[in-house]
Structure 1
Amino acid sequence: METTDFMLEFFSMDYANYTNDNETDVDSVYNDHGHHICKGEILCMLLLAANVIIIVLGVVGNGVVIWIAGFKMKKTINTTWYLSLAISDFIFCATLPFNTFYIATEDWIFGHFMCRLTSFVMFLNMFSSIFLLVIISMDRCIAVMFPVWAQNQRTIKKASLIVLIAWVLSVSLSMPSAIFRDVQHHLGRTRCHNNYFIVDSHKYITICRFIFGFLIPFLFIMVCYSVIICKLRSNQMAKSTKPFKIMTALIVTFFFCWVPYHTFVLAELNQSFPTKIIIYGLSIGTSMASANSFLNPILYVFMGNDFRQKFKNSILSKIENAIGEEGRTMSRYLSRSSSMDARASTHI
């Protein structure tokens, strides 16, 4: 199998291998030479090394966040949001070793089920992460706009239910990545690739992923943050901006990690783009998307405390402070807002 052929199939996790003779068949683009992918391929070796880093830091970092938010901290609405986000990232990083082995050997030995599962988990992570960021943004917006109502109605039970709904939607939208994933024996090796056996299904799935997994959620997030910024500037009621800085960092990181992937996946639908540009663009874009899963715990650490205090506190304390400070700040904000609203009502 030609190296560029394999890179397009694997790294994109989304290249169409159609059974329809009128559609593009990647095997007809390149000749097969049957050598290992990372022999003489600098980009592939770099991406392989990046995957190893993502696995180690992602599993350890998100594992620590799960331990702290799930077992060490008091259960709150904020820990519910971030625990779910960490679980999503942890699951993805835990399945990434299978794909990393596939990069190194160019031979899928893990069977049909794992071929489908690894692709499914990637998009499950994408959808669940962005949906959770939307939920957190809307939660912040409602708390700022309607502090009295939010203080009375925001409960852990409701937050857990909302998270469950987000996961159900994420699973539903990720199912096509498992349905159209297939295993094929080719030139003595086993390939794990996409087999879009329904005409135009690749196009529709790609567009739906972009719309529901990126475009619409970011519009919601931008609207929520615009409202929050305007409200806070007008009344100057927030004593600490750290929680909003953390959320902003999470959103900006997700945006920059996933924009290259979506850009080249959409470009791949336009056959006028040079194939090699799509190949390497998707390779880099997919690795950047994967990197988002280990960056979140790092953001908790480096934005949770003042820089000068970072070396005085343990990493566990930093993460706990980063997550817990959101709840403390939000409680202070809601209490202060409620008291101001109450005083205002006595003058009406």
Structure 2
Amino acid sequence: MSGYGENVTIYDYSQYYDESELFAPCNSVDVRDFGKVFLPTLYSLVFILGFIGNGLVVCVLVKYRHQTNLTDICLFNLALSDLLFVTTLPFYANYAVVSQWLFGDFMCRLAAASHTTGFFSSIFFMVLMTLDRYVVIMHAHTVARYRTLRAGVALTVLVWMLSFSVSLPAIVFTKVTNESHGQSCDFVPENDAWKLYNLFTTNLLGLVIPLLVMVVSYSRIIPTLVNMRSTKKHRVVKLIISIVVVFFLFWAPYNISLFLGFLKDEEKLQGDPCTLDSNLKLAVTVTEAFAYTHCCLNPIIYAFVGQKFMKRALRLLKSWVPGIYFPSSRDLSDSSYRKSSFMSRSSEVTSTIIK
């Protein structure tokens, strides 16, 4: 997946294993050896935690689907996006370990499609949830009649279509190629224009635009919340700030590393070429893997902080594991939730203080 100017989800480990690169002109063996240990370890951890957390969100929302609202639809699809994303990580973990792609051309393209579409849809659904919070808090009476299940389904279809469309070049140009070390699953575009397309869609649609939407929306929401009479408003403000800060900290380093790689390829950076190449490959490898862990935090940030959602999750877990201890129902009562709700009925993160 690493590779400057390539799509966020397309692995190109051939740059680490090409024998010609190991000895001339630059030696990348240290980055290769680091990646063979670091990537499988972190990918396995992200897969396990992401699958459990997002899988539980999906199970809870499916079980209580008769109480679904627009926010629940967004939350459900956010969890599906993250599941689609993490299910490809075991394949790429194996790719990093054995230094070649063992699963054939079809799985190469399918993994690229799932990984890229899951990445963009996850980001887009986070943006959609941010905009939904904004209109609910700032224009509650005006938009209430438009926040219907039909609108939720229409927006869901639109987001998935947009995510797939943005990911289409990665799907079309990803294929198995024969290298000196064996078969590789690489992004092989027809020209450099597609590399630039992938770089700028990753940076603009994956970071800049979502971050701007979050900052602008929440900067207007927070003053409104502060002026409301609620014992939970300070907690809610901290949570909102955490959403923006966590998103920035997890994704900005990776996007910056990709952009620096682009500047290096354009010979805009000064320094020893081999040192720059090695440092940037290492930076992309580390920041990319670190960014992927954000999908493990989404269930916590967007679902499990809500009292009502947590109550549903605990009920479901209790039905699966009889005899396990849970907090009393009084601690997670629906009535106490309604008195302190913020931006939705499924989570404090996405409920509304406006009563």
The alignment's TM-score, normalised by the length of structure 2, stands at: 0.75
Moved >4 Å (runs of 4+)? 6-17, 37-40, 242-248, 309-312, 329-332
The answer as to whether partners of 2:174 and 2:188 remain within 8 angstroms in 1 is: yes
Tell me what 2:291 maps to.
289
Alignment CA distance shift 1:326-1:220 (3 Å)? closer
Alignment CA distance shift 1:232-1:284 (3 Å)? same
The answer as to whether partners of 1:127 and 1:170 remain within 8 angstroms in 2 is: yes
Alignment CA distance shift 1:30-1:46 (3 Å)? closer
Matching of residue 114 in structure 1 with residue 107 in structure 2: yes
SS of 1:108's partner is coil
Tell me what 2:279 maps to.
277
Tell me what 1:55 maps to.
47
The answer as to whether partners of 2:82 and 2:119 remain within 8 angstroms in 1 is: no
Q: Which residue among 187, 196, 199 is the counterpart of 2:192? A: 199
The answer as to whether partners of 1:62 and 1:87 remain within 8 angstroms in 2 is: yes
Tell me what 2:153 maps to.
160
Tell me what 1:102 maps to.
95
Alignment CA distance shift 1:118-1:297 (3 Å)? same
Tell me what 2:327 maps to.
313
SS of 1:327's partner is coil
Deviation at 1:287, TM superposition (A): 0.6
SS of 1:197's partner is coil
Q: Which amino acid aligns with 2:263?
A: N
Sequence identity (%): 25
Q: Which amino acid aligns with 2:163?
A: S
In structure 2, C-alpha distance between the alignment counterparts of 1:146 and 1:39, rounded to whole Å:
51
In structure 2, C-alpha distance between the alignment counterparts of 1:237 and 1:186, rounded to whole Å:
65
In structure 1, C-alpha distance between the alignment counterparts of 2:157 and 2:239, rounded to whole Å:
23
The answer as to whether partners of 1:108 and 1:190 remain within 8 angstroms in 2 is: yes
Deviation at 1:153, TM superposition (A): 2.4
Tell me what 2:272 maps to.
none
Deviation at 1:154, TM superposition (A): 1.5
Q: Which residue among 259, 263, 267 is the counterpart of 1:266? A: 259
The answer as to whether partners of 2:342 and 2:352 remain within 8 angstroms in 1 is: no
Deviation at 1:299, TM superposition (A): 3.5
Deviation at 1:302, TM superposition (A): 6.2
Q: Deviation string for 1:267-300 (max 9, x for gaps)? A: 1111245101111111112211221122222435
Tell me what 1:343 maps to.
none
Q: Deviation string for 1:12-60 (max 9, x for gaps)? A: 755789xxxxxxxx7754349xxxx899934531221111111111111
- Aligned pair count? 312
Structure 1: gaps of 5 or more residues: 1-5, 18-25, 337-348
Tell me what 2:22 maps to.
30
Alignment CA distance shift 1:325-1:138 (3 Å)? closer
The answer as to whether partners of 2:230 and 2:353 remain within 8 angstroms in 1 is: yes
The answer as to whether partners of 2:10 and 2:174 remain within 8 angstroms in 1 is: no
Q: Which amino acid aligns with 1:327?
A: S
Tell me what 1:65 maps to.
57
SS of 2:22's partner is coil
Deviation at 1:103, TM superposition (A): 1.1
Q: Deviation string for 1:49-104 (max 9, x for gaps)? A: 11111111111111111000122352122211111100000111112111111111
The answer as to whether partners of 2:2 and 2:285 remain within 8 angstroms in 1 is: yes
In structure 1, C-alpha distance between the alignment counterparts of 2:304 and 2:145, rounded to whole Å:
32
Deviation at 1:170, TM superposition (A): 0.8
Deviation at 1:262, TM superposition (A): 1.0
The answer as to whether partners of 1:89 and 1:125 remain within 8 angstroms in 2 is: yes
Q: Which amino acid aligns with 2:344?
A: G
SS of 1:196's partner is coil
Tell me what 1:173 maps to.
166
In structure 1, C-alpha distance between the alignment counterparts of 2:243 and 2:90, rounded to whole Å:
24
In structure 2, C-alpha distance between the alignment counterparts of 1:71 and 1:246, rounded to whole Å:
27
The alignment's TM-score, normalised by the length of structure 1, stands at: 0.77
The answer as to whether partners of 1:133 and 1:251 remain within 8 angstroms in 2 is: no
In structure 2, C-alpha distance between the alignment counterparts of 1:166 and 1:186, rounded to whole Å:
37
Q: Deviation string for 1:107-150 (max 9, x for gaps)? A: 21111122122223222222212211211111111112212112
Alignment CA distance shift 1:152-1:292 (3 Å)? same
In structure 2, C-alpha distance between the alignment counterparts of 1:113 and 1:251, rounded to whole Å:
37
Deviation at 1:188, TM superposition (A): 5.0
The answer as to whether partners of 2:40 and 2:96 remain within 8 angstroms in 1 is: yes
Structure 2: gaps of 5 or more residues: 270-275, 315-324
In structure 2, C-alpha distance between the alignment counterparts of 1:12 and 1:154, rounded to whole Å:
33
The answer as to whether partners of 2:175 and 2:187 remain within 8 angstroms in 1 is: yes
Deviation at 1:263, TM superposition (A): 1.0
